[in-house]
Structure 1
Amino acid sequence: MTIFIYYYVGLFSVVSGMMAFVLNRKHFLSTLLSLEFIMVSIFWLMSMSFFCVGVEGYFVLFFLTFTACEGALGLSLLVYLVRSSGGDFFSSFSVL
Protein backbone atom coordinates (compact mmCIF):
# COMPACT_ATOMS: atom_id res chain seq x y z
CA MET A 1 0.00 0.00 0.00
CA THR A 2 2.81 2.43 0.78
CA ILE A 3 4.43 1.90 -2.65
CA PHE A 4 1.39 3.48 -4.29
CA ILE A 5 2.01 6.63 -2.27
CA TYR A 6 5.45 6.90 -3.91
CA TYR A 7 3.83 6.53 -7.34
CA TYR A 8 1.30 9.23 -6.55
CA VAL A 9 4.04 11.57 -5.31
CA GLY A 10 6.02 10.94 -8.49
CA LEU A 11 3.01 11.50 -10.74
CA PHE A 12 2.09 14.67 -8.85
CA SER A 13 5.66 15.89 -9.27
CA VAL A 14 5.60 15.26 -13.03
CA VAL A 15 2.26 17.03 -13.43
CA SER A 16 3.35 20.00 -11.31
CA GLY A 17 6.58 20.26 -13.33
CA MET A 18 4.60 20.26 -16.56
CA MET A 19 2.29 22.94 -15.23
CA ALA A 20 5.30 25.06 -14.24
CA PHE A 21 6.76 24.56 -17.71
CA VAL A 22 3.56 25.61 -19.46
CA LEU A 23 2.54 28.49 -17.20
CA ASN A 24 5.90 30.09 -16.38
CA ARG A 25 7.53 31.00 -19.68
CA LYS A 26 8.97 34.43 -18.93
CA HIS A 27 12.59 33.40 -18.29
CA PHE A 28 14.67 30.74 -19.99
CA LEU A 29 16.17 29.67 -16.66
CA SER A 30 12.76 28.91 -15.14
CA THR A 31 11.85 26.71 -18.09
CA LEU A 32 15.15 24.85 -17.75
CA LEU A 33 14.52 24.32 -14.04
CA SER A 34 11.03 22.98 -14.68
CA LEU A 35 12.41 20.58 -17.31
CA GLU A 36 15.00 19.34 -14.83
CA PHE A 37 12.29 18.88 -12.21
CA ILE A 38 10.28 16.80 -14.68
CA MET A 39 13.33 14.66 -15.46
CA VAL A 40 14.11 14.08 -11.78
CA SER A 41 10.46 13.13 -11.17
CA ILE A 42 10.57 10.63 -14.04
CA PHE A 43 13.81 9.28 -12.60
CA TRP A 44 12.03 8.84 -9.26
CA LEU A 45 9.15 6.96 -10.93
CA MET A 46 11.51 4.70 -12.88
CA SER A 47 13.54 3.95 -9.77
CA MET A 48 10.43 3.01 -7.81
CA SER A 49 9.13 0.87 -10.66
CA PHE A 50 12.38 -1.04 -11.06
CA PHE A 51 12.70 -1.40 -7.29
CA CYS A 52 9.23 -2.96 -7.04
CA VAL A 53 9.82 -5.36 -9.92
CA GLY A 54 13.28 -6.30 -8.69
CA VAL A 55 15.12 -5.67 -11.95
CA GLU A 56 18.67 -4.37 -12.32
CA GLY A 57 18.82 -0.59 -12.47
CA TYR A 58 21.16 -0.12 -15.43
CA PHE A 59 18.54 1.62 -17.52
CA VAL A 60 17.92 4.05 -14.67
CA LEU A 61 21.62 4.95 -14.62
CA PHE A 62 21.53 5.35 -18.41
CA PHE A 63 18.56 7.70 -18.06
CA LEU A 64 20.32 9.65 -15.30
CA THR A 65 23.36 10.09 -17.57
CA PHE A 66 21.20 11.54 -20.33
CA THR A 67 19.49 13.80 -17.80
CA ALA A 68 22.85 15.19 -16.71
CA CYS A 69 23.85 15.75 -20.34
CA GLU A 70 20.56 17.54 -20.98
CA GLY A 71 21.16 19.79 -18.01
CA ALA A 72 24.67 20.66 -19.17
CA LEU A 73 23.41 21.42 -22.66
CA GLY A 74 20.64 23.64 -21.28
CA LEU A 75 23.07 25.58 -19.10
CA SER A 76 25.45 26.09 -22.02
CA LEU A 77 22.55 27.43 -24.11
CA LEU A 78 21.63 29.75 -21.25
CA VAL A 79 25.18 31.11 -21.03
CA TYR A 80 25.26 31.64 -24.79
CA LEU A 81 21.92 33.46 -24.80
CA VAL A 82 22.86 35.69 -21.88
CA ARG A 83 26.16 36.62 -23.53
CA SER A 84 24.59 37.29 -26.92
CA SER A 85 21.36 39.07 -25.93
CA GLY A 86 22.12 40.34 -22.43
CA GLY A 87 19.38 38.47 -20.56
CA ASP A 88 17.26 35.34 -20.40
CA PHE A 89 13.87 36.89 -21.22
CA PHE A 90 12.00 35.14 -24.00
CA SER A 91 10.71 38.47 -25.27
CA SER A 92 14.26 39.71 -26.02
CA PHE A 93 15.15 36.75 -28.29
CA SER A 94 15.12 37.20 -32.03
CA VAL A 95 13.55 34.43 -34.10
CA LEU A 96 15.97 35.08 -36.95
Structure 2
Amino acid sequence: MMIFSKFFFSIALFMFMGGVFSFINYHKHLLNSLLSLEYMMLSSFWLLCLQLSSIGSEVYFGLFFLTLVVCEGALGLSLLVYIVRSHGNDYFKSFNILEC
Protein backbone atom coordinates (compact mmCIF):
# COMPACT_ATOMS: atom_id res chain seq x y z
CA MET A 1 0.00 0.00 0.00
CA MET A 2 2.91 2.32 0.68
CA ILE A 3 4.14 1.90 -2.91
CA PHE A 4 0.83 3.19 -4.30
CA SER A 5 0.86 6.25 -2.05
CA LYS A 6 4.39 7.16 -3.14
CA PHE A 7 3.36 6.62 -6.75
CA PHE A 8 0.30 8.88 -6.43
CA PHE A 9 2.35 11.47 -4.55
CA SER A 10 4.95 11.55 -7.32
CA ILE A 11 2.24 11.87 -9.97
CA ALA A 12 0.67 14.80 -8.11
CA LEU A 13 4.04 16.53 -7.81
CA PHE A 14 4.69 15.92 -11.51
CA MET A 15 1.30 17.49 -12.28
CA PHE A 16 2.11 20.51 -10.14
CA MET A 17 5.49 21.01 -11.79
CA GLY A 18 3.84 20.68 -15.21
CA GLY A 19 1.41 23.44 -14.22
CA VAL A 20 4.27 25.67 -13.06
CA PHE A 21 6.16 24.98 -16.29
CA SER A 22 3.15 25.85 -18.44
CA PHE A 23 2.45 28.98 -16.38
CA ILE A 24 6.01 30.21 -16.89
CA ASN A 25 6.40 29.31 -20.57
CA TYR A 26 2.95 29.78 -22.10
CA HIS A 27 1.84 33.18 -20.86
CA LYS A 28 0.92 34.79 -24.17
CA HIS A 29 -2.82 34.56 -23.50
CA LEU A 30 -4.69 35.10 -20.26
CA LEU A 31 -6.70 31.91 -20.83
CA ASN A 32 -3.51 29.81 -20.92
CA SER A 33 -2.38 31.31 -17.64
CA LEU A 34 -5.75 30.69 -15.99
CA LEU A 35 -5.83 27.07 -17.19
CA SER A 36 -2.35 26.39 -15.86
CA LEU A 37 -3.31 27.91 -12.49
CA GLU A 38 -6.39 25.67 -12.37
CA TYR A 39 -4.19 22.68 -13.19
CA MET A 40 -1.90 23.55 -10.29
CA MET A 41 -4.92 23.86 -7.98
CA LEU A 42 -6.18 20.45 -9.12
CA SER A 43 -2.83 18.86 -8.34
CA SER A 44 -2.64 20.54 -4.94
CA PHE A 45 -6.19 19.33 -4.23
CA TRP A 46 -5.05 15.82 -5.11
CA LEU A 47 -2.08 16.18 -2.74
CA LEU A 48 -4.42 17.43 -0.01
CA CYS A 49 -6.76 14.46 -0.50
CA LEU A 50 -3.82 12.05 -0.37
CA GLN A 51 -2.58 13.60 2.83
CA LEU A 52 -6.00 13.69 4.49
CA SER A 53 -6.73 10.09 3.53
CA SER A 54 -3.43 8.91 4.98
CA ILE A 55 -4.14 10.39 8.41
CA GLY A 56 -7.84 9.43 8.44
CA SER A 57 -9.12 12.97 8.83
CA GLU A 58 -12.49 14.36 7.88
CA VAL A 59 -13.14 15.50 4.33
CA TYR A 60 -14.57 18.90 5.26
CA PHE A 61 -11.27 20.68 4.82
CA GLY A 62 -10.93 19.19 1.33
CA LEU A 63 -14.43 20.28 0.40
CA PHE A 64 -13.71 23.78 1.69
CA PHE A 65 -10.54 23.90 -0.45
CA LEU A 66 -12.48 22.66 -3.48
CA THR A 67 -15.11 25.37 -2.92
CA LEU A 68 -12.41 28.06 -2.87
CA VAL A 69 -10.89 26.66 -6.08
CA VAL A 70 -14.27 26.79 -7.81
CA CYS A 71 -14.80 30.40 -6.68
CA GLU A 72 -11.32 31.30 -7.95
CA GLY A 73 -12.10 29.70 -11.30
CA ALA A 74 -15.40 31.57 -11.63
CA LEU A 75 -13.67 34.86 -10.78
CA GLY A 76 -10.95 34.18 -13.34
CA LEU A 77 -13.47 33.41 -16.07
CA SER A 78 -15.49 36.54 -15.29
CA LEU A 79 -12.31 38.64 -15.49
CA LEU A 80 -11.47 36.97 -18.80
CA VAL A 81 -14.90 37.84 -20.22
CA TYR A 82 -14.57 41.43 -19.00
CA ILE A 83 -11.11 41.82 -20.54
CA VAL A 84 -12.18 40.32 -23.87
CA ARG A 85 -15.17 42.67 -24.00
CA SER A 86 -13.15 45.75 -23.14
CA HIS A 87 -9.92 45.05 -25.07
CA GLY A 88 -11.12 42.69 -27.82
CA ASN A 89 -8.61 39.91 -27.04
CA ASP A 90 -6.78 38.28 -24.18
CA TYR A 91 -3.18 38.99 -25.17
CA PHE A 92 -1.05 40.24 -22.30
CA LYS A 93 0.83 42.58 -24.66
CA SER A 94 -2.33 44.53 -25.50
CA PHE A 95 -2.99 45.53 -21.86
CA ASN A 96 -1.90 49.04 -21.01
CA ILE A 97 -1.07 49.74 -17.37
CA LEU A 98 -1.93 53.42 -17.67
CA GLU A 99 -5.43 52.68 -18.99
CA CYS A 100 -8.34 52.47 -16.54
Quick one: distance in 2 between partners of 1:95 and 1:37? 28
User: Aligned match of 1:62 in 47, 61, 64?
Assistant: 64
1:38: how far off?
Answer: 0.3
Quick one: distance in 2 between partners of 1:52 and 1:9? 16
1:57: how far off?
Answer: 1.1
Aligned pair count reads 96
Question: Counterpart in 2 of 1:9?
Answer: 11
Q: Which amino acid aligns with 2:4?
A: T
Q: Give the root-mean-square deviation of aligned CA atoms.
A: 0.5
Q: Which amino acid aligns with 2:33?
A: T
Question: Structure 2: which 5+ runs fail to align?
Answer: none
| TM, length-normalised to structure 2 | 0.94
Question: Counterpart in 2 of 1:28?
Answer: 30
- Which one has a larger percent helix, Structure 1 or Structure 2? 1
| TM, length-normalised to structure 1 | 0.98
Q: Which amino acid aligns with 1:95?
A: I
Quick one: distance in 1 between partners of 2:96 and 2:46? 36
1:2: how far off?
Answer: 1.1
1:65: how far off?
Answer: 0.4
User: Aligned match of 1:87 in 76, 86, 89?
Assistant: 89
Quick one: distance in 1 between partners of 2:63 and 2:76? 20
Identity across matched positions, percent: 49
